[in-house]
Amino acid sequence: MGHNTYKKGDVMTTKKWAAMRGLLSFLALALLLGCSKKENTSEEQATSPAKEAKTASAPIDPATAATVSGTVTFGGAVPKPQKIDMSQDQACKGNNVSETIVADSGKLANVFVYVKDGLGDRTFDVPKEPVTLDQKGCQYHPHVLGVMTGQNIEIKNDDPTTHNIHPTPKDNREWNESQPPKAAALEKSFAREEIMLPVKCNQHPWMKMYMSVVKSPFFAVTGADGKYEIKGLPPGDYTLAFVQEKLGAQEQKVTLAAKDSKTVDIAFKQ
Amino acid sequence: MKSLSTPYNSAHHKFAVFTACSTFVLIIAGALVTSNDAGLSVPDWPTSFGSIYKIPHLVGGVKFEHTHRMIAQFVGLLTIIIAIWTWRTERRRWMKYLGIAALGTVIAQGILGGLTVLFYLPPPISSAHAALAQTFFCIAVCIALFTGPRWVEEVPRVEADAGKPSLITLTLLSIFVLYVQLIVGAMFRHHGMSWWPHVVNAPMVAVVLTWTSIRALFLYSRIEAIRRPAVIMLALLIAQLCLGFLAFVTRVAWGHDAVQPELPMVISTVAHVAVGALLLATAVVLAIQVWRHVPIAFEESIPVRSRDPVTA
Ligand code: HEM
Ligand code: HEM
């Protein structure tokens, strides 16, 4: 085009420049947006090893360790689980009901229970063992997963179809990766504490799960029987939090003496 | 500017119409991506699953996202062709620039589409992508309009505008309120804003557009080029209000607990986006036709520019 324009004088060039400048400043803006995001990431990566490097606090004496356990129930009529339509992908032959509220005969599953308060400044070693998230039948297993900050999460695809795994965190770095059938497991971790961090698949928009990232190993997820158990706690005053993806959070205080074994039951209502 | 007569080029015009129609299909394809929450099913860009040309297995969300990308590439190609074609054959210099503007817009739109994928659909970028999509559609419609036989060959029937505010002001106001409606609608659709600005602005849009089209019909229904878009605008407005209501019911009232995008909410929201695009384009066409046929209010602001003969 260049050789065509020389005739037409200044009008063209100024206009062209204006347009170019417009586009450029727009791109610059977009880049800025992008860079500010990236900065967060590197900051996060810089801080997390520092945290890990801190040595764990004085070990907890197993002889005095206490246990808290209980049952989480759902009060009132349990809503009928919604049906999922998986017909968009023939490879999906999963259990096609939603897991938003799973309450068999009133026992509420998939409630994340953790010690929210009472551990003070104590720090804990991160387990070397990863936790596993499996994609099978175009659903996530488990539906709610607890993990420690910095602990590895192994993400597997056991389906004959491609998934994408997309966590949408508030305080951690966001990412989105696809995983074809038979691909190697993904190894991921989150650097910051975040309760019920949503994870979803955009290929199969019904696929949703939640990861709860905590700094202590004192957490549990209720099973189909609504039961949970948290072992190995040093004696002390604690606040337990119970979090359900739809029904919200509740807290309960509990005082544990040495070798105590206490029961804390809780009921959720819609 | 119009006086620099261009012979009607049927092939060029038909190609422009085809480009505009393809863009409309592309807008529907894009709206399907958003409504099916499939925007991130292909995580990379400019590649798709690491490849530039390989077509992935089109299931689930990928079906929507990748189809959208392929249609976008096709429309990009059409735009390149029309920009070059216009540059080489048009006598009207501003038309050459319009072709280039179309090309620039489609490139920016493609980049926005890619950026929104790479940054995980931030509401401002996704909304900019939605708004620029309709802007590009309007440009494509304009190229089709300006290359059409009526525009090129007919001597416009000019009348003086006596009304206050002038009809051209009203049509420009229509475009403005529609843009505001588009932007707040897109911000809501992409989870960047509450629903109420969009719903509160809707009566405003309804009033301005009704006022504009009624005024146009009242004063200039003899001029077909004005009557047609005015009637269409009124009809589309009514349809759009109904669709907006449906979209609200299916997506906001019933759909907030849905485990997945359900068919009624996909259909109603996609139709609402598509009719929204048609409505904006119609308002732009009406404004242009009013400017052409009822030019009084606008005359003074037309810059008197020296035109050098480019007939080489
Ligand atoms: C070049 C012409 C293009 C046009 C006219 C166009 C148009 C659109 C439209 C109308 C939407 C729907 C917005 C809404 O419903 O709110 C959309 C969504 C989308 N487009 Fe495009 N698009 C183009 C190119 C691209 C390209 C090249 C990509 C590349 C990745 C892309 C990626 C997307 C994505 C990811 C969405 C979903 C956004 C979301 O759900 O937030 N688009 N597009
Ligand atoms: C003439 C008036 C209207 C126009 C021009 C209009 C236009 C639009 C457009 C262009 C979008 C999508 C933006 C995008 O591409 O992302 C949108 C979204 C939406 N509009 Fe409207 N709208 C109008 C009236 C209404 C009314 C009256 C309602 C409801 C009572 C409504 C409810 C909605 C809803 C719920 C969405 C989001 C759909 C979703 O979440 O997927 N609109 N509107």
Give Cβ neighbours of residue A227 (< 8 Å, ≥ 6 apart): A69, A70, A71, A72, A107
**Using a 6 Å cutoff on CB, does residue B129 contact ligand 1?**
yes
The contacts of residue B10 (CB under 8 Å, 6+ apart) are B149
- Kindly report the CATH class assigned to B1-154: mainly alpha
Distance between Cα A135 and ligand 1 center (Å): 28
Q: Which CATH architecture has domain A66-269?
A: Sandwich (2.60)
Residue B205 beta carbon below 6 angstroms from any ligand 2 atom: yes
Mutate: best of A202, A208, A246, partner B, most B CBs <10 A:
A202
More confident residue, B6 or A268: A268
Q: Which residue of A has its CA nearest to B125?
A: A30
pLDDT at B42: 96
Where is A16: in which H helix or E strand? helix A10-53
Nearest-CB residue to A23 (from B56, B57, B108): B108
CA B198 – ligand 2 centroid, Å: 7
From the CA of B28, the nearest ligand is 1
With a 6 Å cutoff on the Cβ, whether B67 touches ligand 1 is no
Q: What is the pLDDT of residue B7?
A: 87
Q: Is B188 in the pocket of ligand 2 (CB under 6 A)?
A: yes
Beta carbons within 8 Å of A250's beta carbon, 6+ residues apart:
A241, A242, A266, A268
B137 CB less than 6 Å from ligand 2? no
In the prediction, which pLDDT does B5 show? 66
Sign of CA dihedral B302, B304, B305, B311: positive
How many angstroms separate the CA of residue A23 from the nearest CA in chain B?
A: 8
CA distance A52 to chain B (A): 28
How far from chain centre, in Å, is Cα A25? 36
pLDDT of residue A25: 52
Mutate to test the pocket of ligand 1, among B129, B136, B187 (most ligand atoms within 8 A of CB): B129
Position with higher pLDDT, B6 vs B239: B239
Check if B198 has its Cβ closer than 6 Å to any atom of ligand 2: yes
| Rounded to 5°, angle at Cα B193 from B187 and B194 | 120
Task: Please report which residue ranges of B221-303 form alpha helices under DSSP H.
Answer: 224-247, 263-293, 296-299
Chains A, B: CB contacts within 8 A come to 97
- List of chain B residues whose C-beta atoms are within 8 Å of the C-beta of residue A205: 36-38, 60-61, 260-261
| Whole-number Å distance between alpha carbons of B290 and B228 | 12
Per-position b or e across A3-38, b if 16+ CB within 10 A of its CB: eeeeeeeeebeeeeeeeeeeeeeeeeebeeeeeeee
The verdict on the CB of residue B133 being under 6 Å from ligand 1 is yes
pLDDT in tens, B138-188: 999 999 999 999 999 988 888 877 777 899 999 999 999 999 999 999 999
At B4, is the pLDDT very low, low, confident or very high (cuts 50, 70, 90)? low
Contacts of B184 (CB under 8 A, 6+ apart): B193, B197, B198, B201
Q: Span B278-298, mean pLDDT?
A: 88
Average confidence (pLDDT) over B197-210 = 98
- Decide: helix, strand or coil at residue A151: coil
Where is average pLDDT lowest: A110-114, A136-140, B84-88, B256-260? Answer: B256-260
Cross-chain Cβ contact A23/B87 below 8 Å:
no
Q: Please answer yes or no on whether A7 and B310 come within 8 Å at the CB atom.
A: yes
Alpha helix locations (H) across B36-122?
60-89, 93-118
Residue of A nearest to B48 (CA): A178
Q: Which residue of A has its CA nearest to B117?
A: A176
State how far residue A245 is from chain B, nearest Cα, in angstroms.
12
Distance, in Å, from the CA atom of A214 to the CA atom of A90, rounded to the nearest integer, reads 37
**Mean of the per-residue pLDDT values of chain B:** 92
* Cross-strand bridge partners of residue A179: A163
Bigger pLDDT: B312 or A179?
A179
Q: Is the CB of B293 under 6 A from ligand 1?
A: no
What is the structure's pLDDT at B296?
56
Q: Report the nearest atom of ligand 2 relative to the CA of B134.
A: 15
Contact between B120 and A9 using a beta-carbon 8 Å cutoff: no
> What is the per-residue pLDDT for A56?
57
The question of ipTM being above 0.85 is answered as no
B196-220 helix and B263-293 helix, angle to the nearest 10 degrees: 40
State whether A202 and B41 contact (CB < 8 Å). Answer: yes
Nearest to B27 by CA among B236, B194, B269: B269
One pLDDT digit (tens) per residue for chain A, 270 residues: 333 333 333 333 444 444 444 444 544 454 444 434 433 333 344 344 444 444 556 778 888 999 999 999 998 888 888 899 999 899 998 788 899 999 888 999 999 999 999 998 899 999 999 999 999 999 999 999 999 999 999 999 999 999 999 999 999 999 999 999 999 999 999 999 999 999 999 999 999 999 999 999 999 999 999 999 999 999 999 999 999 999 999 999 999 999 999 999 999 988
Residue B207 alpha carbon to ligand 2 centre in Å: 16
Of the candidates A195, A178, A201, A210, the one whose C-alpha atom is nearest the C-alpha of residue A240 is A195
C-beta neighbour count of A80 within 10 angstroms: 9
